[in-house]
């Protein structure tokens, strides 16, 4: 997709149709809460279940569980953006991630966005200030990965 | 009935009797009206109803209002009853009074009104007589009581009546003890009843909580309709909350960006690509 066509598609939306900083931060906060609860429940279920069934928690199980839980946020965001364009927080807040121009994300781009966002969380947070001055309310991560965050069609004033 | 009170009490009792009398009259009229409505559709019984009501109303209302018996009671109400008038005719209306139709009903009404008036007159007269009698008997009674007290206080008489007084005192003590015992028994019975009711209600509530409520809750939980209703309610509530959060966050987005722009001193047009 060329930059010109993307600009044409993007030009069909007003600035207010793109998700702002507050909505995105609230969505991320919801995601963090959901991930924390899910990770705690999964860890309690696996490790506690092993403790009950086996009488002890094997070291390899702890390692595997830790590994899976460490990867959980990455795949949570990547799969959410790839399949739905939304995570749980995005569903609640009514915002979705898409490529510049309006097409949905492919898995590699979604995975890259998730890895960069989680690895450079502070930078992502600081780069969010770019949304204040960007016409499409894009943050630094959006500019790097070629994405944008919009309100879902039901909420946006898409024409 | 008037023996224990003054003349004023007697009048009060007489007046108090008028209220139940009036209630009885109204009840009789109501029953008769219903009975007449249930019976023939031709209107003759309805006319009787109107006649009866008119007769009773004309006779009883002045008496119930405290007037002197039947003095001043409208004679028209007793005589000019609407005999044979159609159903729903004006109460007490004199039109077509004696032009055929059943006569028994107005006759009964007049008789009932006469009886009631007679009773009212009797009660009023009795009240006046009782008032006069009590007023006349008060002074002799006081005098007699004083004389009797003086006689009883004489030593000879006191000695002679000592056994009787002791017996009377013992009887009074026994009566008082019996009353106290009865009160105690009544109080105990009341407490027993209250305790019984409380225990029964407590056991009933425990039974409901232990047996009925779990079953009802189980049925409700297992009912697909209830589940669907609960799910829909929860879903709707969550949607409402989410919608409100979205609106507020969208407004916050706009407000925050406007503040940042003012802080940076940049116009929105400068941001356009």
The residues spanned by each domain of chain B are 7-144, 224-265
Nearest CB partner across the interface for A21, out of B253, B271, B272: B253
Asked if B240 reaches chain A (Cβ–Cβ under 8 Å), the answer is no
Any CB–CB contact under 8 A between A132 and chain B? yes
Q: Does B261 touch chain A (CB under 8 A)?
A: yes
Average pLDDT of the residues of chain B: 71
pLDDT band for position B267 (cuts 50, 70, 90): low
Q: State the first-to-last Cα distance of chain A, in angstroms, to the nearest integer.
A: 21
* B62 to B73, B117, B120: CA distances (angstroms): 6, 10, 11
Q: Is B273 on the interface with A (CB under 8 A)?
A: yes
Give me the residue from A20, A92, A151 closest to B257, CB to CB: A20
Out of B21-25, B69-73, B100-104, B254-258, give the one with best mean pLDDT: B254-258
Nearest CA in chain B to A90: B246
What is the C-alpha R_g of chain B?
Answer: 41
A86-131 confidence digits (pLDDT tens): 999 999 899 999 999 889 999 999 999 999 999 999 999 999 999 9
Q: How many CB atoms lie within 10 A of CB B158?
A: 12
The whole-angstrom separation of Cα B164 and Cα A158 is 113
Which residues on chain B are in Cβ contact (under 8 Å) with A137?
253
Which of these ranges, A29-33, A38-42, B252-256, has the smallest mean pLDDT?
B252-256
Local confidence band at A149 (pLDDT 50, 70, 90 cut-offs): very high
Query: Mean pLDDT of all residues in chain A?
Result: 86
pLDDT at position B108 over 80: no
User: Are B257 and A151 a contacting pair at CB < 8 A?
Assistant: no
Question: What's the pLDDT at B246?
Answer: 87
Highest mean pLDDT of the ranges B30-39, B68-77, B171-180 = B171-180
- Residues in contact with B11: Cβ distance below 8 Å, sequence separation at least 6, in sequence order: B127, B131
**Beta-carbon pairs below 8 A across chains A and B:** 49
The pLDDT tens digits of the residues spanning A136-146 come to: 999 999 999 99
**Position with higher pLDDT, B205 vs A8:** B205
Residue B260 with chain A: CB contacts under 8 Å: 132-133
- Given an 8 Å threshold on Cβ–Cβ distance, is A133 in contact with B266? yes
Contact assignment for B272 to A20 by CB distance below 8 Å: no
Q: From CA B127, how far away is CA B16, in angstroms rounded? A: 12
Would you state the pLDDT for residue A119? 93
* C-alpha dihedral, A121 to A122 to A125 to A130, nearest 10°: -110
Contact B246 A94 (CB under 8 A): yes
| pLDDT tens-digit series, residues B56-99 | 444 444 444 444 444 444 444 444 444 444 444 444 444 444 44
- The overall pTM is greater than 0.80: no
Write down the pLDDT at residue B115: 79
Q: Testing the interface with A: which of B238, B251, B252, B253 to mutate, by most A Cβ within 10 A?
A: B253
Quick check: A26 and B249 CB within 8 A? yes
Per-residue confidence (pLDDT) for residue B11, from 0 to 100: 58
Q: Is the pLDDT of residue A24 over 90?
A: yes
pLDDT above 60 for B188:
yes
Confidence of residue A61 (pLDDT cuts 50, 70, 90): confident
* CB nearest B256 (choices: A19, A22, A133): A22
Mean pLDDT lowest among A54-58, B46-50, B168-172? B46-50
The verdict on B256 touching A (C-beta cutoff 8 Å) is yes
In sequence order, the β-bridge partners of residue A99 are: A147
Contact A119, A8 (CB under 8 A): no
Mean per-residue pLDDT for B109-129?
81
Percent of chain B with pLDDT over 70: 59
């Amino acid at each position: 997709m060329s930059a010109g066509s993307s600009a044409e598609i993007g030009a069909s939306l007003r600035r207010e149709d793109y998700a702002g900083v507050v909505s995105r931060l609230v969505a991320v906060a919801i995601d963090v809460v959901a991930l924390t609860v899910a990770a705690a429940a999964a860890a309690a279920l696996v490790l506690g279940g092993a403790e009950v069934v086996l009488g002890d928690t094997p070291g390899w199980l702890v390692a595997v569980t830790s590994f899976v839980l460490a990867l959980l946020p990455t795949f949570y965001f990547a799969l959410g953006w790839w399949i739905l364009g939304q995570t749980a927080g995005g569903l609640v807040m009514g915002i979705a991630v898409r490529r510049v121009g309006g097409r949905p994300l492919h898995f590699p781009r979604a995975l890259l966005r998730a890895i960069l966002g989680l690895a450079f969380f502070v930078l992502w947070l600081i780069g969010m200030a770019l949304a204040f001055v960007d016409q499409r309310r894009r943050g630094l991560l959006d500019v790097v990965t070629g994405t944008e965050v919009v309100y879902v069609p039901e909420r946006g004033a898409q024409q | 009935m008037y023996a224990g009170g003054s003349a004023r009490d007697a009048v009060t009792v007489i007046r108090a009797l008028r209220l139940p009398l009036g209630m009885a009259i109204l009840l009789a009229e109501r029953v008769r009206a219903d009975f007449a409505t249930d019976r023939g559709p031709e209107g003759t019984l309805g006319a009787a109803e109107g006649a009866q009501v008119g007769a009773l109303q004309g006779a009883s209302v002045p008496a119930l209002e405290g007037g002197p018996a039947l003095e001043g009671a409208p004679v028209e109400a007793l005589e000019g009853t609407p005999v044979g008038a159609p159903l729903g005719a004006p109460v007490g209306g004199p039109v077509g009074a004696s032009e055929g139709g059943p006569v028994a009903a107005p006759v009964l009404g007049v008789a009932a009104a006469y009886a009631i008036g007679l009773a009212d007159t009797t009660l009023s007269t009795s009240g006046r007589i009782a008032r006069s009698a009590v007023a006349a008997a008060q002074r002799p009674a006081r005098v007699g009581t004083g004389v009797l007290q003086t006689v009883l206080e004489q030593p000879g008489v006191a000695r002679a009546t000592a056994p009787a007084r002791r017996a009377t005192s013992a009887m009074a003590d026994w009566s008082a003890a019996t009353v106290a015992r009865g009160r105690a028994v009544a109080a105990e019975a009341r407490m027993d009843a209250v305790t019984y009711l409380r225990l029964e209600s407590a056991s009933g509530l425990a039974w409901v909580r232990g047996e009925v409520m779990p079953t009802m809750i189980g049925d409700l939980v297992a009912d697909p309709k209830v589940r669907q209703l609960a799910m829909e309610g929860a879903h709707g509530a969550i949607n409402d909350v989410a919608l409100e959060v979205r609106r507020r966050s969208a407004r916050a987005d706009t407000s925050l960006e406007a503040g940042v722009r003012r802080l940076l001193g940049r116009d929105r047009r400068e941001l356009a690509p």
